[in-house]
Each structure stands twice: as structure tokens, then as C-alpha cells.
Structure 1
Amino acid sequence: MAQAPAPGTRLNFAVLGPVRVRRGDTQLPTGSPQQRALLAALLLRGGRTATAPELVDALWGEDPPDAALAALRTYASRLRKSFGPDAADTLVSESGGYAIRTDPATLDIALAERYAAQADQAGTAGDRHRARDLLNAALGLWEGEPLAGLPGPYAETQRVRLQEWRLRLLESRLEMDLELGCHAEAVSELTALTAAHPLRERLRGQLMLALYRSGRQGEALALYADTRRLLADELGVDPCAELLDLHQRILEADPALTASAIGRAAQTPVAVRPAQLPASIADFTGRADSVRELGERLTTAEGSVMAVSAVAGIGGVGKTTLAVHVAHATRAAFPDGQLYADLQGAGPGAAEPETVLTSFLRALGTPDASIPPTLDERSALYRSALDGRRVLVLLDNARDAAQVRPLLPGTDGCTALITSRTRMIDLAGAHLVDLDVMSPDEALELFTRIVGKDRATAERKAALAVVGACGFLPLAIRIAASRLAARRTWTVAVLAAKLADERRRLDELQAGDLAVKATFELGYGQLEPQQARAFRLLGLADGPDISLAAAGAVLDLDPYDTEELLESLVDASLLESTAPGRYRFHDLVRLYARACAERDEHPPSERRAATSRLLDFYLATATGVYALERPGDRTVDHLEPTGRPGLALADRAEALDWLHTEAECILACVRQAAAEGEVRRAVDLLLAAKDLCESGAGSGRYEQAALAVRDAARRADDKKAEGRARTTLTQVYITAGRYDEADEEARHGMLLGQVANDPWAACNAPNERGIIALHEKRHEDGEAHLRQAVECFHADGNSVGEASALCNLSRIQLAMGRTDNAVDLARRGIEIYDSMGLTLRLANARYALGLALTAAGRLSEALDELTEALGVFHANRQPLWEGVTHFRLAEVHLAARRPTLAAAHAEQAIALRGIGGEWRRGTVLTVLGRALDAIGQPDRARACWTEALAIYERLGSLEADEVRGLLAPAAVA
């Protein structure tokens, strides 16, 4: 018997696009259109034989040529020759006709049908994620118009059928997107689809729902009005009942529209129904967000794959109390029972998974004689026993993921809820919930229940101050409230004042046998000297957490010794490991560590040396990131020198990963350094980390840090540092569209830079003032500032800065109507960036060139430049620039009379939140409205313009008049 060909040598067929045959990576010739039509007719019969008359009718219809049969034989012979050695087994002649016999896995439509069928099964079972993935796999097999270019009535009929099928698959996949909460991403795709298929009501209903769930109720209602008008004009009918119902529910803001409609899977009764949950706490207080989050997560297991939630936190924070409360609250969703085990992971004798599985199997009705001896066998039998059941498994006080994995159900409809002192980042698929502190409202509720509603309500502000000083830790709140409840002469304000002093806070948080400090001291007293030193010094560093490398700088130790010390502190529950290589303190634990640093003979100079080493580490590493991102930019030559090296980062991708991972810690270090008088290095760390501002990802926190440095520098009368801080603030305010504030800071920064003879401020301040003038339409001022910036950058030997100023000058020239000059200046910027190999900066220059080419009417060239820039911005995690580039692409497509594409790009710009402040959102909404109006959705367009006008009027922007003009004819119409 002949062997089957290897996958790389067998024939593969495609009909979902141009009809093609491939052997491995080689495309085989398929001949004339009529010959390809024969091939398609045979492939679409799924291996069944087609007679000669059927094939003649398929290829030529009612008017075949005289030599039709001879032509069929010729086409079949040529196809066999093209197919090669296995042709005889593939294209066979039988019963006066032909058939193609091939493995379904080699035909794209067969694969698509299989994926679609599997998607239906997954959807029926409630597994929306898998169903969506399978539908995407099916849709990914299309390569354009099916049976493209084939003649004959059969090909035409099948082409229509396949196009309709693809649309149905798209609708089903979009349904999954909406059920899985991907409504914002679906809007742009649905906008384009409704424009291409305006009478398809299901697509319009999906777009209405996606807009509503994206917080765009007005546009959703406007789309319905467009739909009703279109159907009446084109068909003389009203919208279908489903659309009418959806419209009414949107008008009423039906809460059910915000949740996925996931059906309940059939429940199979079981003979044994375990109910092992411990008793719930009668006076359970707070944790509303966590209860809701966990409850929703657990109940989504119904009809879907297993859900796993792991609650982590330090000892005494209430993990078990929360888990038991949630488990009782969701019992109704698990009618087949609840299993519980205390895994005793915090003690020396953690429960063995084999032992726990034995108890679980017994509870599920398995006789002892049927329980196998090994862990793997017990785990497999356990999963089999749960198959088809809806069971909740509560695994309390787990040691680690390895202990938990054999105990997970792993079957549809079941769920596992886990508590542990460690954060189980290595538990695949787990939904992680950190339970370090309560929310302010929940903490206040706990405080109120202890001290009484009258006292807490009468002094609500003071009560909030108390729970805030407690770090929202339940134990601390309970102690503070108990002290107040026992002292009727105290007011809440008295207690708040006592807790306001950080140096005495831990002493105040004790009542009887309860004391927060005593809880911490139990662990601290058991530390070795090196561990205790690490604990104290790490507590000095601000920031939400700290990396292993940064901790090494604080401790002045190598990575190996640092990691060993930090992991030992994790084991002692005095530090948390939030992720591999990252650590954090609870707020009150950090306060205790700082108290220990002062109490245990760390003089101020030693404490300052530790934070200074951390500042050096961040500045040195951020400088390296800046140099990788902007090679040739002389900013790095103007930064303060550091006393220790930073991390050696291999490439730009690794550098960006580091910068965005460390963003919060870097900005906290800047604020701390400013407070300690280190203003020069603090502001230079801001300059080196400017990508955090430019990306738009953390501009608010960046602004706070810059303000702290500016004010500290002013107090220290350090004009150089103040000038740099003000120029840095200018960049923040430009990003946010706050141009008056930006110009004020830039003006001061420019003057201070001149007084301090600082070349960095002398170059950057006029560059920023030119950008501001551009946005404020003060073009002559902007031109003067930017020409000054070009000269300063050139004198400083900063080619990168010079290119930036040239591109900005290009935009000024464009605004002044000097289009040719604008194109030339942008190209000069591109030449500089290109010669230096600067990918990201080159994208900025291509963006500027794209604007100039758009104004020059060279739309195809503009589209190329902007599209290339968009890809670079996306790859470099620059959502702000990605968003504005989508906006510019929308303008190009609108100018080229491609409104559907324009609308899609404008929707993408809106989906990328934080694209440059409210003013920029107004400009995008204006263009989106133009595009929607052009594709026949005037009510949606009007909704966009109305929102844009409100923004412009609130900001006092000149663009308001333009939008009023757009709305005026709409009002008349």
C-alpha cells in the first residue's frame, strides 16, 4: 500500500479566495479560468462525483460550446499533470464524471467548516473564548473574494453563498466579542461593516449595542434613527422586532445590556452532593468590590471552562473570611455541591495533595476501595468524578501553586477558589485577587459598625482620616475603632490626630492584646542581622514596589545576595513577592520598617546614602534607555553624572519594558529625591524618562513629579534645575492640550535656562514654545521660536533635536500655507533621523511629512508615510502617537473619498484612550462625524459633532465655530 505523502509534500487546495493549489510552499499552475472553475466545482462537492453533464452545466450554463465534453477532458488532464505524482489518487474518473478525493485538512473550506462546527459546540457549552478563537480561525482562511475571477453560473452561485456564510461567521464572532466585553474594539469593525452592508439589521443591532456598552448612548440611538430612515426609504419597512426591542432597552438604560448573555448549561443531577463549606461570618463587613469580583468570576464558570480565582495577602488580612463569605453567596450557582479543604500552607505541616484528594473523592461518593494509590491517578479520577457537575472547590491557606494544581477540577462548569499568603502568579489561568487592604468605603463601614453610626457619621471626614492612617488594613481598623469605642469622651477627630503622626502611629494602633506593631515584631524579631538590615533599608524607598536590581542598589549588594535576603523576608511574611523579581511592603509594614531604621542606629547619613544609591541606579538606567531610544541625542551629555552603573539593557525592546515596568517607582523616586534636596538628579531622571510622558501612559503622575521638582528647585534657588523642570512641565501640558499653562512654563524655563547657561533648556524651551504657538495659531511666533530652536540644537551638535525642530517647523510652514517648504523641512528631518538609524524618531518625522503631503493633495504618498509611522508607534507602545496617527489617516481617507475607512481609523483613535486630552478628542469626533455623514449615518454624525462642540465650548477653542457650521445644515435638514 502506498504511503501517504508527508505534510510538506501533499497537495493543499484553496477556494476561499483565488482558487489555488500548493505543494508545500510552492504554488502549482491551475490553468485558464475555465480550468480553475472545473477544479472549484469538484472541490466544492466534498469528494462526491460530479457527472459530465453536471460539470458542463456548472461551467457554461444553458449555452455550452459544441466541444464542451472534450474541453472537460482536456482540463482534467492538465490538472492531473499539474498535480504531479499523486494526481491519479487525487483527481479520479468514475461513473462518467470526475471527483477530487483529498484529506479535508488540505482544503480551506473544509477546515473552515470544521472550525465553525467546533465553534458552535463551544458556544453551546458556554465556552465563549474558545468559540471566538475558532471563528477567528475559520475567518482567517479567507483570502479575499471566494472563487475570485471564476466564470460560470455555478461559481457565481457558490460565490454568493460563501460570501453570505462569511458574513454570518463574522456576525457570530462579533456576537462573541460583545459577550466577552470587547465592545470598544468591535465598534470600528462594525462601523465599516454596516457601511458595506447597510441593510443588514443584525450588524446594525450589534453596532448599537457596542456603542452603548462603550458609553456612547447618543450615537447608539442616532444609529437606530439612521437605520429606521434607511429601511423606510429603501424597502418601505420598519426595523425588525429585535432592533425595536434593543432601541427601547437602550432608551431605558436596561442594566441587563451591560452583561454578557451567557446561557445556563444543563445541570445533571448527581447522587452525592457534598456541602463542606465552613460557617459564614455573621458580621462580615466590607470587601464589596472583592465580593462582587469573585462572585462574578465564580459564576461565569456556568456552561464554560473552569474558573480559578486565587486570593492572596499577608496573614490576618481576612482571606479565609472573604473566601467563605463569597462561597456561601454563590452556592446557588453550584447545585452539585461544594468541597472545602484547609491546606495548612502557612505552617510547617502543609497538607499533602494525595490526602486531600482522598477526602474529596469520598465526599463525591467514591468508595475507598476504588481510590487509586498515586497522586496522578487520584487527580485523574477526581476530575472524572466532577465531569458534568457544577461544583465549587474552596482551597484555603494554600502553600503554593504546586500544592494546588492536582486539586483543580479542570472540567467545564466547576470552579476553584484559593486563598494563600503568596501570590500565585505561576498558576496558569488563575484570576488573581490581592487582599492587602480594604477600599475606603468598606474600611469606613467596618469602623462605623464598631464605633456606632452616630459617632462615625457626625465626623465622617475624621473617620476617613482614621481608616486612611490605618492603611485600610482590617486588623488596624478594628484596633483603632475598639480604642475609640472604649473612650466615650474622645471624638473621632482626637483619634485621627493621634494617628496623623507617622512616627507614633504604630504605637497608637494597639488595644488590649491586639497590636499591629506586635504582629510585625513577631516576624522581625526572628530575622538574622543581614535580613533585619535589608528590611529596614528597603522600607526607606518610596514607590509601590521595588525590583530586585533596584533593591540591590539600596542594599549595595550583588543580585544573588539581594534575592536571597528578599526571598527570606517573603518567607517571614514581612515582604510580598508580587511577581518574579519584584517585591513590595504593606503600607503599615513599610512604616514599621522605617521606624526600625531610625530606632536601630541607622544615622541620617546612612539612610540618605541608601536612597541616593537608588536615585543613581534609576538615573543611570533611564539614561541608558534614553540613549537606546534616541541615539545621537545630546540630552544624555547634559545629565548629572552618577556614582554607580545602571542595568545593561540589550536592546530598545528590553529598554522600553524596563522603563514602563518601573514607571511608578521612578516617579516616586523623583518626588522623594526632590523632598530630600536632590533636585539636579531628580529633574534629570525626569528628562531621561520622558517616554513616560510622551507615550501618554502616565502623564498625570509624571506631571505630579515634575511639579514637585519645580517647587523644590525654586525653594533651593537652583535656577538650572527649575528651568529644566518647567520645560519638562511644558511637554506635559502640551500633551494634555493645556496650552496657556504650557506657554507660561516654557517662557520661565527659557529665561531660567539662559540665566543658568543651560544648553538643554536653551534648545528645548523654544522648541516647545514653537509647538504651543502652532496649536494656538500664532504662526509667526511659532516660526521664530522654532528657527531659534534649530539654531540652538545645531550649535549644541544635537542632530536629533535639530531634526525634531525641523519637523515642527514643517508643521508651522504648513499652517502658513507654505506646503512645499513644509514637505522639504519634513524630508530634511527624515534624512537626519534615517542617517542615524532612529526608528521611533523617524516615525515622528514621517508623521510630519504625512501631514504636509496631505495638504499638498498627494494623498497616496501621505497614506504610505502615515501607515509606516503607525506601525512603528504601535510597536513602540506609544498609544498617544498611535491615536493621533489613526486620526490623520482618517483625514487622508476622508479627503480621498473613502469615508468607511476614515470612520474605522477615527474609531481606532477614540478607542485608544488618552490620545492628547479633550481638545484632541474633539478633533477626532469632528472627523468621525464627517465620515459617518458621508456613509449615510447623519444622526450618528450629529451626535459626534454635538459632543465635539461641547468640548470646544468648554475649552474656549476656536474650532467651535467650525462644528457649529457642520451642525447648522444638519439642523435644517
Structure 2
Amino acid sequence: MELEPTLLLVGAVKAAANAGAAEIGKKTGSVVAERTKGLLVRMHMARRGDDVGAASGQGADFGQGAAGGGHVDLEPVELDPARAEEYAVAIMRRAAVDPEMAREVADLLATAREAGDIPRLRVVPPVIAPPRVFVNRVGEQADLTDAAAAGVVVVAGRPGIGKTALMGKWLADLVAAKAFEACVYLELPDRGRDMGVADVARELLRRVGVDTSVPRSDAEWVALWHSVMRGKRYCVVVDEVTQPGQVRALIPESGEALPGGGSLLVAVGAEPLAELAAEGAEFVEVGPFDADAGVALTRQLIGDARVDAEPEAVEQVVEACDGIPAVLALAAGILGQKRDWPVAQLAALLADGGRQLDVLRKRGGGRQVVDLVFDAGYAELDSDAAQAYRAMGHLERADFQPGVLAALADLPEPVTVAALETLLAKYMVTEHEWPATGYRVGDMQRNHAREAAQRAGEFGVQARTAALRRVRDMLVATVQEADAAASPNRPLRVPEVVAGGGRFATGAEGLHWVDAHLPDLLACAESGDDDAALRIAGSVWPYVTNYRRWDDGAWLYRHAAALARRTGFAEAEARNLCELSRCLLETYDKVGARAAVTRAAQLVGNAPARLRASVTEFVGLVELADGEHEKAYELFVECRRLHRREGEDVTRGEVLAMEMQGRALRWGGEFERAVTVLEEALGVAPDEQRLQARLRMDLAEALLNANRGGEAVRYLEEALPLLEAQRMAGDKYNAEVMLRAAHRR
């Protein structure tokens, strides 16, 4: 490998200053020495017969030297060999800005090459040993190998997740396989703070045996690295990179084809370094261990006997540590110190969220690990991200939605979403894969957030009560808006829906929100807030029926009915019992369904007609499920009568009753009568997607039963987009089956 130009000039200057004294002087000959002297004279750094001038090189007069760097007719020039480096650097800097000087330097170096063999710099790859303890990461190693062809790879993951161990193992395997001529691993001190690309280049050069004692500019250090490594097939791993600029200029040059493939730079960091995608980088993320890998690591650290004796306790320890290898190693260290402890004792300590981190800090002497994995990342957050992070301490579950966190943090939701992007970049949370929404935080991370909230005075009784109240208010208000969007024609709700304005542009958006927040809504309903529970139960009916969440609905409506009964709210009890009956019918509990509607009918003797009509409808559904078609039909006729309002247009309730009449007729085998009733209902139905879709499906089914499949096609084709818009997947599937049958007829 050739010396880079500045080093070559150093030798030439030494040859010029003390001909024959420097090894390079013997090789390049007197021509190079004389031409180097000529350059220095023209730069006013050497004068005929004078002492050497100042090394400024500013405003140099190029004089009458021979063009192209030929012999300059001067009196003997005396140079100081000790200043050879200074002269050479000045020449190269001048050549960088002066095209004529650059040509002369290039010509000088060409002459040096022709004069004989130029000393080669020997690259000495440092020894790379594999980690003493290493588990799994088979997938990540394969990803690294596949990505290597890109020439630059980013390996990212939170602190303590095992990136360094992974790279040590992978590099050691490359060395053993002689996959590269040189492999270098460099961990930046202090997580790379205050280090620029020149500092990285200088340290890499030192690692491969280059003398780095001579001062250089930033650009020169980078150029020297590329010059020294040119022609070599090498792999460099730079760990603890915090900014793309620390490594961007060190990406291997792609212009030179090397045997066996190109060189590789791997940047390892606690953040994704996404900007390097513009340089063609491939990305490999390192995540927590799964349960099996965590147990395997623990087995290596504490031995087979203890793991095999208490496998369930070991799994609990792994889960408590969020699968973070550094934390797992710390927990194993505690067991190593306490050889008389059963693993279950440590598992119990780690299960206590209030003590978990203190156990690791104090019993395991792991303050440094906890600082690396948790404290350091929190300390780097801006104020909004830190506030959102502390609010995660209030979460009762690992999975959460941004709106819930925004309410806990008392921040606007857009600000919270931006804060979550910061937390994602630092691997403090993970995001669910599309089409699912929301985020997940590990239990230990959540416990750390709780600690931070306690230190900030945000986890006391009053603060926590206020945070949970904000979540309750958000959930209740928004679920009512979702209901209003999905059922815009003011269907019966007890208590009445009080919806704000227009968060959801479509019913589908509202239903999707309910689906994402269902665990929070159920938890809020169970929290002891009776009003919240009744309002939530009264607002999720479109969701339960469209998404067919009958089991969740059964729990919620049974719970809400019991609350209403305890508080003497008879109308709410009756309504929830009716909805409970539908859920029970769908889960094949006809006995339970009949008991629910029987109780509801007893409660509404003097209730408003609209509620009595609704109860009558649900009683009819139970009779229909029991095969009592005529009885069900009469109940639906009565339901329609109760909904009718003299002098007003047909109400939504009447249309629903007509739909049920048609269904009862169809189930009783009176298909043509069913078609007539359903056509009438469709003609007067309000413009509501869910109701319009259901009517078309019922009408199409009646037409199919009446051997009029050709007429059913139209209604099914009209129903399908409505069902899609309302996210009624089960009904959509049924409509597609019927459509295929209709085409065959």
C-alpha cells in the first residue's frame, strides 16, 4: 500500500534537506529532492543562500521556476530536516487550492514512483476476540451478513441490548473466516460525545499501526485514512455513534473493485441514524431477547442446575428484566452472589414494581447498568418528551394509545405524538405494526418512568387522581363522538349520548378508534366510576355489533346493568339487559338471553314509548332465535307501532322494526311477504351506512330464498362498499358468499 502524498513529501523534503540520510531519499533520487526544493522556494519557504523562511505560504511568488516542476537554477538551498513535516503539509495545502501547484505535486509523485519502490505502510489489524458469553442473535447475524454488500450498515438498539456483544461475535467470525484483510472495532468513549469524524479517523489509524503524533487538519485525517486503506478489503465497526457526521466521510470508497467484494463500515448506535439511508446504508435493529434466549443467557450465567430446578422462576426473572441482556446479566450477578437464594426469591423482588430498580442498583451493585440503560436516555430528553415519559409511570398496561398518554401527561395529543417519536428513536417504547395502532413500553421501563414521576412530584395521590380523571373524561367524550359518527341519526342511548363536534369524519374512523381503545374503555368501565361505565356501555353498541365482539359486549353490558340496578337507574338497566341478550344469543346462551329480556320487560312498564319499543324488539329477537316466528313477527309489529309518531316521517326505529318483520317472515318461510316488507323499509330508511347495508343484505337473502337471485345481485353489490366502510367484516364475508350464490342463479 502506497504512502499517502503528504508522507511521501515528508520523505522528499528530508531527502532534499539531507540527501541520502532518509531512506526515501535513496529511493526517489536527487530529481525528487531538487524538485521539492523548487516548490519550497517558489512558496517563499526557502531562499537561495538564506535561512528557511516562515511557513506561511501566503502570497507566494512562483518566480521563474521551470514549468512542470523542472530544475530551478538557484544557489544552494539549505533546509531543516526537523521541519520536513511542516514543509510537506504546507505544500499539500497549497496544492489543494492552486491547480498549477497540484499538477506539479502530482508530477513530482509520479517521478518518485518511477524512481523505485516506495516504502509501503503495513496495516496491523488489531486482535478481535469473541465475547465470552454470547447467546442467540442468529437472525441479527444473518441480517448483518446480508446487509454487508451495501458497504455501510447501521446497527441500532437501546443501551444494554447487546449490540457490542453481537458485533464482537460477528467480527470475530469474520476474522476467523478471513472474510476481510483487516477488521477493526472502535468504541467511541463517553458515548461519542464531542468526537468528530477527524477524531474517529485518527483513532482508527492508530488502531492499524499508523503514527498519529503529527498534527493534521480534519480533512487530512480523513484523507489519510482512505489513503492508508486504499486497496485493502476491510471491515470497520464504530460503536457508540451518536451523529451520522461522525462516520459519513469514512464510508469506504466504492470506485475501486476489490477481490471478493468491497469494504464495509458498520455504525453502531443507540439511535437509528436514519440519515445514513441517503448513503445507501442498510439497517439492522437489535431488540430484546425473547423468553427462550433470555433463559439461555441466564443458564450460561448461573448454570444448568439452578435453571432446571426453577424454570418458571427463571422465566419470571427474564420477563421482569424486559429481555434486556445487560439487566439480565445484572440479575444473574445477584443470584451469583446469593448462591443460597432460590431463583423465586429474586423473581418476587423484581415483580415488585416499586422496588425493582432499587434491587438491581443496590443488591447487584448495578447503579452503572441502570444509569446506562435507563437514566442516561431519560436525561437526554427534551421537556415535552420527558413529561410524556414520566406520564408512562401512570400506565397500568404495557400497551397504550397516544391519546391516553396525552391525557395522563396533560399535553396536547400532537405534542405527545411528537414526544413519542423521540422515545421511539431512543428505543424507550416500541410501536405496534400497521394496521394495529399504539405503542408498548416494557415493565421495567415503566417502573423507571414511575420513579422519574415520583422524583418530579407527579405521582402523589392528587396528581395521580387528576391524571386518571383526564383519561376518563377523554375516553367518555371520544367514545360518544365515535358512536355519533357511526350512528348519525340519534339512535336510542341510555344515558343519552352527549357528543362534541366532529373528531371523526366517518363512522369507520370512530369504530377504528373504539377498537384501538377497547382495553382502556373496559378498564375505565371497571374503575368504579358508574357514570363513565354507563356512558361507555351506551356508546359502543355499533362497535360490538359491527366487529362482532360478543364476549367483550357480554361482560360490559352485564356489568353496566348491575351498576344501573344498584343505583336505581331502571331505564339504563333495561337497555343494557337488552344489549346483553343479543350478545348472549350470539354466543349460543338462549337461556341467559331470555332471562335478560324478561327482566328488561319488567322494568319498562311506564317507560317512554321509545324504550318500550326497543325492549319489545329484543324480546322478539329471543323468540325468533327460539323458532317462534309468528310470535316474533307480532312483537316486531308492536315495536313498529310504538315507534310511530303521528304526523311525522318514518322514524329510524320503525325502519328497524320493519327489518325485523321481514326477517321473521323469511325465517317462517314467507319469502315474498318478506321481500315486500323489506323493500318498503329500504324505501324509507335514513341515509345511514350500517342500516342501509343490513337492509340490502336482508332483502337480498329474501330474494334468494324466493328464487329471485338475479334481483339479489344488485342489492348485494350495493351493500359491499357500505359494509367495508363500516368495517363489518363478518357481514361482508356473508354478503360475498350470497353474491356468488346469486350469480349462479
In 1, Cα distance between the equivalents of 2:640 and 2:128? Answer: 73
**How is 1:76-115 mapped onto 2 (pairs within 5 angstroms)?**
none
2:275 pairs with 380, 383, 403, which one?
Answer: 403
Residue 866 of structure 1 is matched in structure 2 by 716
**How is 1:451-850 mapped onto 2 (pairs within 5 angstroms)?**
451-510=302-361, 511-515=363-367, 519-522=373-376, 524=378, 534-542=388-396, 544=398, 549-558=403-412, 562=416, 585-597=441-453, 600=457, 602-635=459-492, 638-639=495-496, 641=498, 648-649=503-504, 651-652=505-506, 656-657=508-509, 659-660=511-512, 663-664=515-516, 666-690=517-541, 692-696=543-547, 737-740=587-590, 743=593, 746-747=596-597, 750=600, 754=604, 767=617, 770-771=620-621, 774=624, 777-780=627-630, 782-783=632-633, 786-787=636-637, 790=640, 799-833=651-685, 836-850=686-700
**What is the CA distance between 1:569 and its match in structure 2?**
6.0
Task: Confirm whether residue 855 of structure 1 aligns to residue 727 of structure 2.
Answer: no
Residue 318 of structure 1 is matched in structure 2 by 162
Answer yes or no: is the 8 Å Cα contact 1:551–1:562 preserved in 2: yes
In 2, Cα distance between the equivalents of 1:707 and 1:334? Answer: 69
3-state DSSP class of the match of 2:268? strand
Say how many residue pairs are matched: 580
Identity, in percent, stands at: 23
**What is the CA distance between 1:847 and its match in structure 2?**
0.9
Alpha carbons of 1:308 and 1:876: their partners in 2 closer, same or farther (altered >3 Å)?
Answer: farther
Answer yes or no: is the 8 Å Cα contact 2:494–2:538 preserved in 1: no
One-letter amino acid matched to 2:693? A
**What is the CA distance between 1:320 and its match in structure 2?**
4.9
Alpha carbons of 1:522 and 1:826: their partners in 2 closer, same or farther (altered >3 Å)?
Answer: same
In 2, Cα distance between the equivalents of 1:318 and 1:793? Answer: 67
In 1, Cα distance between the equivalents of 2:129 and 2:606? Answer: 70
Answer yes or no: is the 8 Å Cα contact 1:499–1:505 preserved in 2: yes
Answer yes or no: is the 8 Å Cα contact 1:548–1:582 preserved in 2: yes
TM (norm. structure 2) is 0.62
3-state DSSP class of the match of 2:284? strand
In 2, Cα distance between the equivalents of 1:748 and 1:286? Answer: 60
In 1, Cα distance between the equivalents of 2:488 and 2:390? Answer: 39
In 2, Cα distance between the equivalents of 1:810 and 1:762? Answer: 20
One-letter amino acid matched to 1:616? D
**What is the CA distance between 1:336 and its match in structure 2?**
9.1
In 2, Cα distance between the equivalents of 1:540 and 1:813? Answer: 54
3-state DSSP class of the match of 2:503? coil
3-state DSSP class of the match of 2:341? coil
In 1, Cα distance between the equivalents of 2:691 and 2:258? Answer: 57
Answer yes or no: is the 8 Å Cα contact 1:536–1:596 preserved in 2: yes
**What is the CA distance between 1:404 and its match in structure 2?**
1.9
**How is 1:6-405 mapped onto 2 (pairs within 5 angstroms)?**
280-286=130-136, 291-292=138-139, 313-322=157-166, 347-349=192-194, 365=231, 382=254, 394-397=266-269, 399-400=271-272, 402-405=274-277
Alpha carbons of 1:455 and 1:366: their partners in 2 closer, same or farther (altered >3 Å)?
Answer: closer
3-state DSSP class of the match of 1:632? coil
Q: Note the residue ranges of structure 2 that are not aligned, 5 or more in a row.
A: 1-124, 205-221, 235-246
Identify the range of structure 1 (331-340 vs 578-587) with the bigger mean alpha-carbon deviation: 331-340
Alpha carbons of 1:856 and 1:790: their partners in 2 closer, same or farther (altered >3 Å)?
Answer: same
Q: Deviations over 1:802-858 (max 9, x none)?
A: 43443243222111011122112322332343xx32234312211111101101111
One-letter amino acid matched to 1:868? E
3-state DSSP class of the match of 1:539? helix
3-state DSSP class of the match of 1:316? coil
**What is the CA distance between 1:673 and its match in structure 2?**
1.7
Query: What RMSD, in angstroms, separates the aligned Cα atoms of the two structures?
Result: 5.4
Q: Deviations over 1:665-686 (max 9, x none)?
A: x223223323431243235335
**How is 1:881-920 mapped onto 2 (pairs within 5 angstroms)?**
881-894=731-744, 896=745
One-letter amino acid matched to 2:444? L
Q: Deviations over 1:174-221 (max 9, x none)?
A: xxxxxxxxxxxxxxxxxxxxxxxxxxxxxxxxxxxxxxxxxxxxxxxx
**What is the CA distance between 1:882 and its match in structure 2?**
1.8
3-state DSSP class of the match of 1:496? helix
**What is the CA distance between 1:457 and its match in structure 2?**
2.9
One-letter amino acid matched to 2:503? A
In 2, Cα distance between the equivalents of 1:882 and 1:308? Answer: 48
Q: Deviations over 1:136-188 (max 9, x none)?
A: xxxxxxxxxxxxxxxxxxxxxxxxxxxxxxxxxxxxxxxxxxxxxxxxxxxxx
**What is the CA distance between 1:562 and its match in structure 2?**
4.8
Residue 284 of structure 2 is matched in structure 1 by 418
**What is the CA distance between 1:388 and its match in structure 2?**
11
Alpha carbons of 1:582 and 1:495: their partners in 2 closer, same or farther (altered >3 Å)?
Answer: closer
Answer yes or no: is the 8 Å Cα contact 1:498–1:508 preserved in 2: yes
Alpha carbons of 1:297 and 1:575: their partners in 2 closer, same or farther (altered >3 Å)?
Answer: closer
Answer yes or no: is the 8 Å Cα contact 1:770–1:782 preserved in 2: yes
Identify the range of structure 1 (817-826 vs 525-534) with the bigger mean alpha-carbon deviation: 525-534
**What is the CA distance between 1:496 and its match in structure 2?**
3.2
In 2, Cα distance between the equivalents of 1:678 and 1:501? Answer: 27
3-state DSSP class of the match of 2:727? coil
Q: Deviations over 1:204-250 (max 9, x none)?
A: xxxxxxxxxxxxxxxxxxxxxxxxxxxxxxxxxxxxxxxxxxxxxxx
Answer yes or no: is the 8 Å Cα contact 2:399–2:438 preserved in 1: yes
**What is the CA distance between 1:508 and its match in structure 2?**
3.1
Alpha carbons of 1:365 and 1:753: their partners in 2 closer, same or farther (altered >3 Å)?
Answer: farther
Identify the range of structure 1 (469-478 vs 709-718) with the bigger mean alpha-carbon deviation: 709-718
3-state DSSP class of the match of 2:135? coil
Answer yes or no: is the 8 Å Cα contact 2:147–2:153 preserved in 1: no
One-letter amino acid matched to 1:823? V
In 2, Cα distance between the equivalents of 1:364 and 1:758? Answer: 89
Identify the range of structure 1 (786-795 vs 576-585) with the bigger mean alpha-carbon deviation: 576-585
3-state DSSP class of the match of 1:396? strand
In 2, Cα distance between the equivalents of 1:330 and 1:731? Answer: 64
Answer yes or no: is the 8 Å Cα contact 1:859–1:892 preserved in 2: yes
Identify the range of structure 1 (810-819 vs 693-702) with the bigger mean alpha-carbon deviation: 693-702
Alpha carbons of 1:610 and 1:818: their partners in 2 closer, same or farther (altered >3 Å)?
Answer: same
Q: Deviations over 1:90-110 (max 9, x none)?
A: xxxxxxxxxxxxxxxxxxxxx
Alpha carbons of 1:318 and 1:785: their partners in 2 closer, same or farther (altered >3 Å)?
Answer: farther
In 2, Cα distance between the equivalents of 1:334 and 1:844? Answer: 68
In 2, Cα distance between the equivalents of 1:658 and 1:732? Answer: 21
In 1, Cα distance between the equivalents of 2:226 and 2:566? Answer: 67
Q: Higher Cα Rg: structure 1 or 2?
A: 2
3-state DSSP class of the match of 2:354? helix
